[in-house]
Amino acid sequence: MDRKKVLLVDDSSTALMLYQMLVSNRTPHQVLTAKDGAEAVEVAVRAMPDLIIMDVVMPRMNGYEACKELRSRNASKKIPIILITTQGQEESIENGYKSGCNDYLTKPVNPAELLALLERYIGTGYTGHGGTQDQKK
C-alpha cells in the first residue's frame, strides 16, 4: 500500500516541527512541508498530497489565499485542507470556510483532535487512545 502524503504548512519552524513529529510518529504517512502559502501551492501542485494542514497567518500568501488558489486549480481542488490558526473568532472561521477549507482548528492544537481529523480525511489507524492499529485492507 502506498503511503499517503500530508503537506504541513506553517511559517513557524517550531509549529512545523511539532506537527511533523506528531504525524510522523503516530501515522504511516509521508510528510511534506512548506513555509508559506505560495510554497504550499507549488508543493501541492507538484506532489499532489492527500491532505493539507495549513496555518492561516503567513508571509507572501496567507492560508486563506492559498486555499482559494488550490481550489481554483483542477489538479488540487479536491485535496482536503485543514486550516490552523490562533484566530478563533467567528469571522475568521467563516473566512476559512469561504476560502474552501474542509475543517478549521484553533491553536493551541489538541493532538488527539488533529489525529482524529487525519483519520477522518485519509485514515491513520489512530484509535484516540494513544496508539495506532493495523490498517485494514
Assign domain 5-122 one CATH number from 3.40.50.2300, 3.40.50.740, 2.60.120.260, 3.10.20.30.
3.40.50.2300
Where do runs of H (alpha helix) occur along the chain?
13-26, 37-47, 63-72, 90-99, 111-122
Beta carbons within 10 angstroms of residue 132's beta carbon: 15
Roughly how many angstroms between the first and final C-alpha of the chain, as a whole number?
9
* Preceding amide of 108 cis, omega within 30: yes
Look up residue 69 and give its DSSP letter: H
Which stretches of the chain drop beneath a pLDDT of 50? 127, 129-137
CA separation, residue 37 to residues 8, 44, 76, 99 (Å):
11, 10, 14, 13
* Whether this model's pTM surpasses 0.75: yes
Structure confidence by residue, pLDDT tens digits, 40-80:
999 999 999 999 999 999 999 999 999 999 999 999 999 99
